[in-house]
Amino acid sequence: MAHYAFLDNNNRVIEVIPGRDEDEIVDGISNWEEYYGNLRGLRCKRTSYNSYGGLNSRTLEDGFRKNFAGIGFTFSEADNAFIPPQPYPSWTLDREAFLWVAPVEMPNDGNHYEWDEQTLSWIAD
């Protein structure tokens, strides 16, 4: 089953729905992005449930449109990618994974950490 993201005028995702697979032809309809977009009067882009961080989680090959779209994500036409909202102003976009990265790597010691934007550091809970 395919999924489709509806975009507002700023290319922000406002809804994601399940829909017809992209290779299905029903009543002569084969372009499901166009069909769903026309139905709602919005731009529509297919998204893949298996895409995260630029990879397909099943094949580990390039992920379709980099990430599965969620409400609040932005669709980049130039990159053909869904980009999640930036969690903090100091974080930068990894242009391969299309995910946001903290300026300091989170410690990997088994503890739980929260990002502190004021000190630009990870704080243990």
When pLDDT is cut at 50, 70 and 90, the band that residue 78 belongs to is: very high
The tokens for 63 are 């992920």
Q: What is the pLDDT of residues 8-45, one digit of tens each?
A: 999 999 999 999 998 899 999 999 999 999 999 999 99
Q: Which amino acid is at 85?
A: P
42: left (phi over 0), alpha (psi -120 to 50) or beta: beta
Task: Please give the Cα distance from 90 to 93 (Å, whole number).
Answer: 10
What is the value of pTM for the model shown?
0.90
User: What is the reported pLDDT for 99?
Assistant: 98
Domain ranges of the chain: 1-85, 87-125
Token pair for residue 85? 């909202």
Checking if the pLDDT of 102 tops 90, the result is yes
Taking 90 as the threshold, does the pLDDT of residue 122 lie above it?
Answer: yes
Q: How far apart are CA 50 and CA 97, in angstroms?
A: 14
